[in-house]
Amino acid sequence: MLRPKPSRIESSQNGSNLVPQELTEQSSHQESTPTASIDIQMELNRLEEMILASFRIPLTRRTLVDEEKLLDQLDFIRMCLPTAFAEVADMLQQKEEILLQAEEYGQQIVEAAQAKRAQILDDNDILRQAEREAAELRRQVQQQCEAMLQDTLEEIDRKRRQCQQELEEMRQAAIAEAEAIEQGADEYADSVLESIEEQLHDMLQIVHNGRQQLQPNLPPPRNSQFPKNG
């Protein structure tokens, strides 16, 4: 099931656009329902390139990924899966047609054998041999058809389950990484503000000490009620 489309935030607090134009154009391309042949491997490669091309935080092993863009790509791949499955179904249909042709060919051989039997009614040994060959050929063709059909269905089901599992793992990893990056940014901002607060406190203390040397009776500063955080 496709995730609900979230509301887009067009600009940040300073009014700058958060999403580049090329990302918006690609998102518009992905929102359209695919109608042409889709290469799932190519779309997965594009998803990988999207992650590798994202902004990497200096001095860390973390990358700042556009969560909405990443989820849009996953949704696009998920929408492409029915098309890919349809292509596999077409291939299966072609194989079934080939198998039907093989069965028709086998039937033609059987009919040829029956015609030959009609011509040599007096030769019972040849008649029995032709019947055995026709039955054996029919059995072999039927076994081959059933085996090819079963193998194809199993392969389609295996690829479908594998693709769904990989997409879910990539989605969970992307969400976890985005949450970790957001938490790290908050901690970094708090650390910077704490450092600035300490520096301002020290500067105010130095100014007050200087004034107190000039004016010994100078009362304590009004902001002394805000002690320095330990």
Q: Is the dihedral of CA 13, 18, 24, 27 positive or negative?
A: negative
In order of 33, 72, 118, the CA distances from 22 in angstroms are: 19, 14, 75
Q: Is 209 within the bounds of a domain? A: no
Number of domains the chain is built from: 1
Could you read off the pLDDT of 33-45 as tens digits, one per residue?
Answer: 444 456 788 888 8
Q: Is 207 within the bounds of a domain? A: no
Cα(66)–Cα(64) distance, integer angstroms? 7
pTM above 0.85, yes or no: no
Q: Is 16 within the bounds of a domain? A: no
Could you read off the pLDDT of 137-193 as tens digits, one per residue?
Answer: 999 999 999 999 999 999 999 988 998 899 899 889 889 888 888 888 888 888 889
Cα(73)–Cα(79) distance, integer angstroms? 10
Structure tokens at 178: 């985005």
Domain span at residue 59 reads 37-199
Q: Is 178 within the bounds of a domain? A: yes
Q: Is 121 within the bounds of a domain? A: yes
Q: Is 96 within the bounds of a domain? A: yes
